[in-house]
Amino acid sequence: MRNVVIIGSGCAGLTAAIYAARARLEPLVVRGHEAGGQLSLTTLVENYPGFPDGVQGPELIERMQKQAAAFGAEFREGDVTRVDLSRRPFTLEIGKEHVETRTLIIASGASAKMLGLESERRLLGHGVSTCATCDGYFFRGREVAVVGGGDTAAEEALFLTRYATVVYLIHRRDQLRASKIMADRLMHNEKIKPIWNTVVTDVLDVARNEVTAAKLRNVRTGEESVLPIAGLFIGIGHQPNTDLFRGQLEMNEVGYLKTHDGTRTSVAGVFAAGDVQDHIYRQAITAAGSGCMAAMDAEKFLEAEQG
Ligand SMILES: Cc1cc2nc3c(=O)[nH]c(=O)nc-3n(C[C@H](O)[C@H](O)[C@H](O)COP(=O)(O)OP(=O)(O)OC[C@H]3O[C@@H](n4cnc5c(N)ncnc54)[C@H](O)[C@@H]3O)c2cc1C
């Protein structure tokens, strides 16, 4: 029987592990199919406090994991494949292993939706980005493009105008899905140049390990073109990793876990931290902050239970 199991090994899960391990709860961290989470997919992180020269994403994660292990956190590879939250102790399956736990911290993150191109995957963190707040600064004085037509794309494009000289907005339709207020702001910003009825078919240049251009196709005319850019931002939304909890925990309409009073979910003893419950900030530092909160909430819950 475990005191606490943590699902996920991104910034939220690892910070929860550091706090829970220091509180002598001997946490078990299930690392999941993307060990280290989203930061392990990126290169330089310049906005995590304490690193004035920046830090490579994978290095930051490795340091957090070492810190958690030093205090006694235990790690398992693989995904949690089933959970039963209907009674306590909660039960989980990690492949063939069956685990019982008094409390559960869910830090399974969210994945940015991608276009599905091989070049896009290979250049992620090398000019392809899913986060303007994180990476916009690297494109000072350059030309960039944002893909998408909803509020995510609109916000990313507007934010990027602080740095880039031109922001192309590539959308497969001839009008935006973004809210009217956002659409108006976009249309009145002279740095933003919409490219309508168009999809990205390839990102160049994998061989140079940097973005130099996007290959485009007009979906109406079939005409192909090459757009020289230094960065490509994918702004087509995020998908929280919550399928496992459907029907067991309250979620919003797109699947983000609902929390109240800190990190408490709709089931007592189950806490949620990081991007899995945050569709607004989605930063390493906010994920880490809520991981700390979840571990402290779990600790208090166990204490109250033991009376
Ligand atoms: C390319 C890129 C660059 C970024 N750059 C920055 C930056 O510069 N600064 C910044 O502050 N933020 C940045 N971010 C955002 C930041 O990475 C995220 O906000 C942060 O990683 C969220 O942490 P998390 O722990 O909530 O989730 P994630 O990092 O998404 O981790 C989720 C974890 O859950 C695990 N998991 C999922 N399902 C299961 C399951 N069923 N069983 C077990 N485990 C599971 C995964 O394996 C993973 O380990 C960037 C993101 C990306 C994609």
Spatial neighbors of 86 by CB under 8 A, at least 6 apart, are 248
Among 175, 207, 234, the domain boundary falls at 234
CB-side neighbour CA atoms (13 Å) of 189:
24
Q: Is 11 in the pocket of ligand 1 (CB under 6 A)?
A: yes
Residues 283 and 300 occupy one common structural domain: yes
Per-residue pLDDT of the chain (307 residues; tens, 9 = 90+): 999 999 999 999 999 999 999 999 999 999 999 899 999 877 888 899 999 999 999 999 999 999 999 999 999 999 999 999 999 999 999 999 999 999 999 999 998 899 999 999 999 999 999 989 889 999 999 999 999 998 889 989 999 999 999 999 999 999 888 788 888 888 899 999 999 999 999 999 999 999 999 999 999 999 999 999 999 999 998 899 999 999 999 999 999 999 999 999 999 999 999 999 999 898 999 999 999 999 999 999 999 988 7
Rounded CA-CA distance 274/193 in Å is 34
Residues 242 and 190 in one domain: no
Residue 200 sits in which domain range?
Answer: 114-234
pLDDT at res. 43: 80
224 and 122 within one domain: yes
Question: Is residue 106 a contact partner of residue 272, using CB atoms and an 8 Å limit?
Answer: yes
Catalytic residue among 11, 53, 84, 131: 131
Total tally of structural domains belonging to the chain: 2
Is 106 in the same domain as 119?
Answer: no
Same domain, 181 and 270: no
d(CA 99, CA 28): 10
In terms of domains, do 180 and 212 share one?
A: yes
Among 234, 262, 290, where does a domain finish?
234
Q: What is the pLDDT of residues 61-117, one digit of tens each?
A: 999 999 999 999 999 999 999 999 999 999 999 999 999 999 999 999 998 899 999
- The burial class, CB within 10 Å (0-12 / 13-18 / 19+), for 211 is buried
Statement to judge: residues 189 and 257 lie in one domain: no
Based on the domain organization, do 77 and 24 belong to the same domain? Answer: yes
CA-to-CA distance for 218 and 195, rounded, in angstroms?
A: 9
Q: At what angle do helices 284-306 and 11-22 cross, to 10 degrees?
A: 40
| Cβ neighbours of residue 246 closer than 8 Å, sequence gap 6 or more | 255
User: Domain ends where: 218, 234, 250?
Assistant: 234
Residues 147 and 282 grouped into a single domain: no
Q: Which of 15, 92, 134, 156, when mutated, tests ligand 1's pocket best, judged by the most ligand atoms within 8 Å of its CB?
A: 134
How far is it, in rounded angstroms, from Cα 55 to Cα 1? 37
Contact 91, 103 (CB under 8 A): no
Probe residue for ligand 1, chosen from 97, 101, 108, 232 as the CB with the greatest number of ligand atoms within 8 Å: 108
| 246 shares its domain with 227 | no
Ligand 1 pocket, residue 49 CB under 6 Å: no
CATH number at residue 43: 3.50.50.60
Looking at the fold, whether 136 and 196 belong to one and the same domain comes out as yes
Nearest to 231 by CA among 211, 216, 214: 211
CB of 136 closer than 6 angstroms to any ligand 1 atom = no
Kindly state whether residues 223 and 278 are assigned to the same domain: no
